[in-house]
Structure 1
Amino acid sequence: MKYVFVLTSILFFLFGNFASAQRFDDVTIETVKVSDHVYMLLGAGGNIGVSIGEDGVFMIDDQFAPLTEKIHTAIKALSDKDIKFLANTHHHGDHTGGNENMQQLGATIIAHDNVRQRLETTPKRDGTSEAKAALPIITFNDELCLYINGEKIGVFHADNAHTDGDVLLYFTKSNVLHTGDTYFKGRYPYIDLDSGGSVDGYINAVKLGLQFIDEDTKVIPGHGSLSNKDEYQSFLKMLEYLKTNISEEIKAGKTEDDVAKNEALTKMYDDLDYGTGFINSEKIRRTFYLSLTN
């Protein structure tokens, strides 16, 4: 009986890993030129930022582990230099899943203090912990600057936004902002309340990003196509609109279920298809209610 259990467990683990890898087989890594030496890579998971130049390759996020080879191939088409640094915008697996692979390729990983802590303590879906090689080597608690490929890159922590470890990165010469998951273009965002995220912190993160940019800035969102200041501001208006509507419901004594069922609270943006992504209209109403009442 014990033998059968062990065999079943092994087969489940192997099949699970096979199925997980197989779902990435058809993923294509798309490369979008953002500036003279900054690119955005789209695949499965969070958008990747890449800076190339004489100093080497600087990456922002790395999606899922099974995609590393495809991502590396896309980067090698841009530069024959080594990957020197990799910045994680937060700890979620669709942004950090390739960390261990990238470390093996020579990248030094940089992230907020809370990202390393969460990667160390949050079990993966298969119940294991992140390997030591997947953890950031350089961490910080507020902001830091990188000087690479002829420009200064500011890295800024946003408190309790999408998670408790979010950072935004601004390329000062290229005029490019990478927001991580503090911006989901044209859709409702995922605010991870269980990982320290909050509505107020999320709104403040967008306001922080807007401080750095102008009409010519190219904005790389955590998810969605390349964006700009107007679209980014529209996203902020959506967040503030939902907060106002749901705050009024809370003041009126409405329950979480009342708010979740009230489609009128989000109708303006539902009609613009904001609820067609990972977070639908009911989920965003519940998220706002829970965050604003805690």
Structure 2
Amino acid sequence: MKRLNLLIALFLIHSISWSQEKEVTITIDTLTSEVYMLTGEGGNIGLYVNDTNSFMIDDQFARLSPKIKKAVASITDKPLRYLFNTHMHGDHTGGNAEFNSSTTTLIAQDNVRKDLLKRLKEKPELGSEILPEISFSEELNIFEADETIMAFHVHNAHTDSDAMIYFMKNNVLHMGDTYFSERYPYMDLKNGGSLNGYIDAIKRALMLIDDKTIIIPGHGRSSNKLELIAYVDMLETIKENILKAIASGDTLEEVEKNSSISSKYDNNFGTGFISPERMRTIFYTSLKNDF
């Protein structure tokens, strides 16, 4: 576990250092006539716009807020009525205070608020605007014009605070970090994440969507049901390979070095921040924790 925590710490340090050095461009993808995906740095942003107001999902880092606001302004001049956090990590909540206002309501799952309260106690200078004004345990529905927006909690997946948001009429699902398109996922084991919960979360999404659903992942390009099915198949195959290794008495170090466990998928999914070795470490540790 100490080794895993060190790897996670190094990963976060590298990510922050790298992100502070490079110039960030906010890219806009039009998914439907009302829903957009904004990509920059950190978690993908979802934006829904109707005739009277707008609804945003996640807000990346505070220092990017001016660029994100400029990108949003190029799409709509409608006021931001709701801001939603898919989970507690800083690359999805870092801009909360920049977007939250007297006319914007911040919404998140209960555990997001609990984590942000801890963050605020450690750094009071962040301001109370980082906190959700509305939190929910399991499900929440918002009715906007002719659109129904469904938010629902998925347990112990990427973290213990993950929620997905589905736009029923537009048929768009924002999965937050319960889906890393075209790359291996990251499960924050220290904050309630788990491999089994991650797989269960994806299966729940698959029960909701259809072949025409557009998926906004937490990271990576937009996706669809067919690709999500292939993704969960990949996770389950690697899980079974690691369970066999555990049953054979293999240690964490042996699994980490055993490339055959995931070699079938490494070229397609192992080129992001989560390398094949790091992925096998996280999967092994999560499965051992479940014993």
Question: What is the aligned counterpart of 2:105 among 108, 115, 125?
Answer: 108
Q: Secondary structure at the match of 1:293?
A: helix
Is the contact made by 1:51 and 1:149 (CA closer than 8 Å) also made in structure 2?
A: no
> What is the one-letter code of the residue matched to 2:284?
Y
CA distance in 2, matches of 1:265, 1:193: 21
Question: What is the aligned counterpart of 2:259 among 259, 263, 276?
Answer: 263
Equivalence for 2:81: 84
Residue 169 to residue 27, structure 1, CA distance change in 2 (3 Å): same
CA distance in 2, matches of 1:147, 1:24: 41
Is the contact made by 2:19 and 2:41 (CA closer than 8 Å) also made in structure 1?
A: no
Q: What 5-or-longer segments of structure 2 have no aligned partner?
A: 1-15
**Structure with the greater alpha carbon radius of gyration:** 1
Equivalence for 1:50: 47
Equivalence for 2:13: none
Is the contact made by 1:45 and 1:94 (CA closer than 8 Å) also made in structure 2?
A: yes
Q: Deviations over 1:253-285 (max 9, x none)?
A: 11111111101001001132x111111011110
| Residue 237 of structure 1 pairs with residue 233 of structure 2 | yes
Residue 180 to residue 221, structure 1, CA distance change in 2 (3 Å): same
Q: CA offset at residue 211 of structure 1?
A: 1.1
TM-score normalised over the length of structure 1? 0.89
Is the contact made by 1:159 and 1:166 (CA closer than 8 Å) also made in structure 2?
A: yes
Equivalence for 1:154: 150
Residue 21 to residue 108, structure 1, CA distance change in 2 (3 Å): farther
Q: Secondary structure at the match of 1:238?
A: helix
TM-score normalised over the length of structure 2? 0.90
Q: CA offset at residue 150 of structure 1?
A: 2.1
Residue 97 to residue 254, structure 1, CA distance change in 2 (3 Å): same
Equivalence for 1:30: 27
What root-mean-square deviation, in Å, do the aligned CA atoms of Structure 1 and Structure 2 show?
1.9
Q: CA offset at residue 230 of structure 1?
A: 1.0
Which has the larger displacement, 44-53 or 147-156? 147-156
Is the contact made by 1:175 and 1:218 (CA closer than 8 Å) also made in structure 2?
A: yes
| Residue 119 of structure 1 pairs with residue 116 of structure 2 | yes
Equivalence for 1:9: none
| Residue 282 of structure 1 pairs with residue 277 of structure 2 | yes
- State how 1:143-292 maps to structure 2 within 5 Å: 143-272=139-268, 274-292=269-287
Residue 53 to residue 25, structure 1, CA distance change in 2 (3 Å): farther
Q: Secondary structure at the match of 2:177?
A: helix
How many residue pairs are counted as aligned between the two chains?
Answer: 273
Q: CA offset at residue 24 of structure 1?
A: 7.0
Which has the larger displacement, 111-120 or 71-80? 71-80
| Residue 59 of structure 1 pairs with residue 89 of structure 2 | no
CA distance in 1, matches of 2:244, 2:287: 11
Residue 139 to residue 82, structure 1, CA distance change in 2 (3 Å): same
Q: How high is the sequence identity, in percent, across the aligned residues?
A: 48
Is the contact made by 2:110 and 2:137 (CA closer than 8 Å) also made in structure 1?
A: yes
Q: CA offset at residue 123 of structure 1?
A: 7.2
CA distance in 2, matches of 1:106, 1:70: 20
CA distance in 1, matches of 2:129, 2:254: 46
Q: Deviations over 1:29-49 (max 9, x none)?
A: 111111110100011110000
> What is the one-letter code of the residue matched to 1:121?
K
Structure 1: which 4+ aligned runs deviate by more than 6 Å? Answer: 19-22
Is the contact made by 2:120 and 2:128 (CA closer than 8 Å) also made in structure 1?
A: no
Q: CA offset at residue 69 of structure 1?
A: 1.1
CA distance in 2, matches of 1:157, 1:24: 34
Q: CA offset at residue 27 of structure 1?
A: 1.0
